[in-house]
Amino acid sequence: MRLGRSGPQQQELGIRIPRPLGHGPSRFIPEKETVQVGSEDAMMHALFADSFATLGRLDNVTLVMVFHPQYLESFLKTQHYLLQMDGPLPLHYRHYIGIMAAARHQCSYLVNLHVNDFLHVGGDPKWLNGLENAPQKLQNLGELNKMLAHRPWLITKEHIEQLLKTEENSWSLAELIHAVVLLTHYHSLASFTFGCGISPEIDCEGGHTFRPPSVSNYCLCDITNGYHGVDDIHASPAASIPTTESVCEVEALMEKMKQLQECRDEEEASQEEMATRFEREKRESMFVCSSEDEESAPTRDVSRHFEDTSYGYKDFSRHGMHVPTFRAQDYSWEDHGYSLVNRLYPDVGQLLDEKFHIAYNLTYNTMAMHKDVDTSMLRRAIWNYIHCMFGIRYDDYDYGEINQLLDRSFKVYIKTVVCTPEKTTKRMYDSFWRQFEHSEKVRSSDASRTTLCSESYYSLYDLMSPAACRRWNVPQLQYGRGRYEASGPMVAIN
Which residue in 107, 388, 419, 453 is the catalytic one? 107
Count CB atoms within 10 A of the CB of residue 242.
14
Exposed/middle/buried for residue 267 (C-beta within 10 Å: 0-12, 13-18, 19+) = exposed
Burial of residue 278 (CB within 10 Å: 0-12, 13-18, 19+) is buried
228 contacts: CB under 8 Å, gap ≥ 6: 20, 23, 213, 215, 222
Q: How far apart are CA 75 and CA 59, in angstroms?
A: 14
Dist CA 60 CA 26 (whole Å): 7
- Known active-site residue 453: no
Smallest Cα–Cα separation from 394: which of 404, 405, 383, 378? 383
Looking at this protein, which amino acid is placed at residue 14? Answer: G
Tell which residue, 82, 26, 78, has the closest CA to residue 353: 78
Q: How many CB atoms lie within 10 A of CB 361?
A: 10
Which of 374, 371, 357, 372 has its CA nearest to residue 449?
357
| Count of other CB atoms within 10 angstroms of residue 434 | 19
DSSP strand pairing (392-393 vs 326-327)? parallel
Neighbours of 389 (CB within 10 A): 24
Active-site residue set: 107
